[in-house]
Structure 1
């Protein structure tokens, strides 16, 4: 079968190679990949790929071999999956605890855009606690996670202020429920009960200044790739007794959260934002655009044509 492997060249980060078809473990299903979605964090890993790196954590496709232990979906079931690696290929073995069956009204492109970004948004908002009537500041809102967080938080009753680089991207976030858009954290009016911060660098300190006393700032990314510096005394400027929490989405099983996301898409309550859809022959070019933040929301690559 064909798969994409790292090259170590930032200008063309992946290339096709021939590889044996995966041999699933007893609790894994073999999935024929119809579409996959790269994440910006994966583009960073490709800059200096470790030996044996096989990227690909977000896939949609068809189960062609059910798990030997009897768990998970039967052969012939369309699924969304979140394998630990190896999804940029014609076939991938996925633990059954990280699969969710797809109804006919959810496309492979929509499903491939769900796993990492959607699970991150879902778990991030659970970490934030009840949101009805609360003011929420979201940085880095233009990416895949940001679109999901905006729509889910607004639906939960939050008043969301989204920080985004351009007016065009802000318009889409308003459609998804954002109450206000700003292009600079320092310009966000505040104060906010909850700050969801994914940029790092100076944005973290600026966001903290806008937190109410006793509020919560959850730090879930560093898209700027610039370290953040905080002073203990900054907390006395407004966020006194505030909570600063680190968040990372990871931790299997993922199947239940994937099923929730699929159900919301099927019901028309969640709308994956796919800023780029292309054949997987264009993966290298799409990865560069994703790394350089030229893609709004998610990018999806189809294997064997659009589905």
Structure 2
């Protein structure tokens, strides 16, 4: 079978290679991958891949071999999955606890755009105080996570202000019900909840717009610039603010995938997909993701039947 492997070349970070088909563990199903969605974080991992690491966490396709232990979906079931790695391939072995079936109304490209960003959004909003009636500030909002957080939070009754680099990157967020600004300095606080994913100077600026007793959840550092907090600035800022670190990871993922699929099927969640392309275009797509030339998600098709 074919698989994308890291090349360590900045301009062409991955290439197709012929490799052996994976052999599933007893609790894994073998999935014929029809579509996968790279994440921006993976573009950085590809730059310096750990020994033996193979990229790919967001996939959708067809079960061609059920798990030997009898768990999970049977042969012929359309599924979306979130393996720990190795998903950028024609076939992937996926733990059944991290798979969920797809209804006919959700196509493969939509499904592939759900896992990491969608699970992050769900778990992030569970970590933050209940969004109903809350004023929420979301930085770095124009990626996949930001679109899901915005739609879910607005749907739950929050008043969302989203920070994006440009008006174009904020267009869909406005349609989803957010107030869009292009600098944290323009965000009219104070905010009950701040969801911060940029790092660098944005974090202290966002913190200063949190209400006394509010919460800042720090879930990323997309700028790749470390953040510095000055204690004396904190003294002069809002009092008793809680700063909480967040990372989405932790299997099982199946229940959250099922929740996301249900929300899409009900028309309450809409994957924002900026690009769908053949996986022969993977290198260019990864570079564009890394350089923030993709709004929302990019999905790559392996040549299977994407419905």
Matches within 5 A, 1:77-96: 77-96=77-96
Distance in 2 between residues matched to 1:176 and 1:109, nearest whole Å: 21
Runs of 5+ in structure 1 lacking a partner? none
Q: Number of paired residues?
A: 306
Deviation track 1:19-61 (CA, whole Å, cap 9, x = no partner) reads 1111000000000000000000000011122222210000000
| Separation of aligned partners in 2, 1:239 and 1:61 | 48
Q: Give matches, 1:105-124, under 5 Å.
A: 105-124=105-124
Q: How does 1:10-49 map to 2 (within 5 A)?
A: 10-49=10-49
Report the Cα distance in structure 2 between the residues aligned to 1:64 and 1:129, rounded to whole angstroms.
Answer: 42
Q: TM-score with structure 2 length normalisation?
A: 0.98
Matched, 1:183 2:193: no
- The corresponding residue for 1:164 is 164
Aligned ranges for residues 154-233 of structure 1 at < 5 Å? 154-178=154-178, 180-233=179-232
RMSD: 0.9
Partner of 1:250: 249
Q: 1:153 Cα shift?
A: 0.4
State the SS of the aligned residue for 1:148.
helix
* TM-score in terms of structure 1 length: 0.98
Shift of 1:208: 0.3
Deviations 1:95-130 (A, max 9, x none): 000001000000100000000000000000000021
Matching residue of 1:141: 141
Q: Is the 8 A contact 1:277 1:302 kept in 2?
A: yes
- 2: CA distance, partners of 1:148 / 1:234: 32
- Distance in 2 (CA, whole Å) between partners of 1:181 and 1:219 is 20
Mapped to 2, the partners of 1:238 and 1:137 lie a distance apart of 17
Report deviation, 1:174. 1.2
Cα contact 1:275–1:298 (8 A) shared by 2: yes
